[in-house]
Structure 1
Amino acid sequence: MKEILLADADATAQLGEALARSRPAHAVVHLHGDLGAGKSTLARALLRALGVTGTIRSPTYTLVERYPLVDGEAWHLDLYRIADPGELEFLGLDADEVTLWLVEWPERGRGTLPGADLVVELAVAGPGRLARLHGQTPAGVAWVEAAFNHGVVTHS
């Protein structure tokens, strides 16, 4: 586990950029945190750093937004409004072209989502945010290490 204090939105964007630079070929990220903790901000920064141009919309109401990447497709999901994991069956979430999953509120889709390579926990910490990154697979552990070797400053 790595922990970092993100002083502001720019620091959150820098973390997203570091994760983009070190991303494995296929990855699933579960983003945890209360409303306003910075999950969407981090996801947008990561997508932007991966070359996504144009508007990066929050999937709060659409549940899923799809973005083309050089090596496939990224899906950004926000499951806050999901009452039952069975509701996800109608979204067709088993596409082979998905190389990056960014899932907010993944606990609401338990049992229907792919397992996480990386779990990111975000929490409000004064004027900034505290981010904890947990690699869940060998690829996820290597990803966290690589991201922190790309200039992200740790606090533990």
Structure 2
Amino acid sequence: MESITVTSPEATMAIGAKLGQLVQPGDLILLDGDLGAGKTTFTKGLAKSLGIPNNVKSPTFTLIREYHQGRLPLYHMDVYRLEDGGAEDLGLDEYFDGDGVSVVEWSQFIADLLPATYLRIAISRDTDADDQRVMTFKPIGEHYQRLVDQLKE
């Protein structure tokens, strides 16, 4: 497991942007962290490096936002509201097996619907420094291990 400490939203976006240059169709990125940890900020960086000009917003109320203007489609999901179920009706596997990159916030609420391989990124606040975040990368599967190795370079 690899960890990176960032000290600004711009640094969080920069890591997202670097990952965005490496992702391929069908990649699944899970973002875990408390409210305000930087999940959507990370996704904004990833989207920007895919060439998506839109302002990426948290899809809390829509559950899924689709962006098709970049190098790859981006499927940005916030499944926080599915804490009590209902995810099985969304056809998430069509996104996960699709031609784009899926980024899922609050993935613990759909844990039983996730495929066998993915990259989980946990973002946590430093209790002593409000502007610091620790990003911990946990790749599940060889492809995602290679992604993390490339990210470290």
TM-score tier by shorter-chain length is: 0.7 to 0.9
Tell me the TM-score normalised to structure 1 length.
0.86
How far apart are 1:39 and its partner, in Å?
0.7
Match of 1:154 in 2: none
Structure 2 spans left out of the alignment, 5+ residues: none
Secondary structure of 1:17's counterpart equals helix
**Aligned partner letter, 1:29:** I
| Match status 1:146 vs 2:150 | yes
Aligned 8 A contact 1:29 1:119 in 2: yes
Secondary structure of 1:94's counterpart equals helix
Task: Spell out, residue by residue over 1:42-79, the C-alpha distance to the aligned partner (whole angstroms, 9 max, x if none).
Answer: 01110111111123221011011111155552211111
Match of 1:52 in 2: 52
Identity, in percent, stands at: 29
Distance in 1, matches of 2:78 and 2:124, equals 17
Distance in 2, matches of 1:140 and 1:48, equals 21
Match of 1:22 in 2: 22
Match of 2:100 in 1: 99
**Aligned partner letter, 1:16:** G
How far apart are 1:27 and its partner, in Å?
0.8
Distance in 2, matches of 1:52 and 1:76, equals 12
Match of 2:38 in 1: 38
How far apart are 1:135 and its partner, in Å?
1.1
Structure 1 spans left out of the alignment, 5+ residues: 150-156
Distance in 2, matches of 1:114 and 1:98, equals 15
**Aligned partner letter, 2:89:** F
Q: Indicate the structure with greater helix content.
A: 2
Deviates more, 1:100-109 or 1:60-69: 60-69
Secondary structure of 2:112's counterpart equals coil
Distance in 2, matches of 1:110 and 1:78, equals 13
Tell me the TM-score normalised to structure 2 length.
0.88
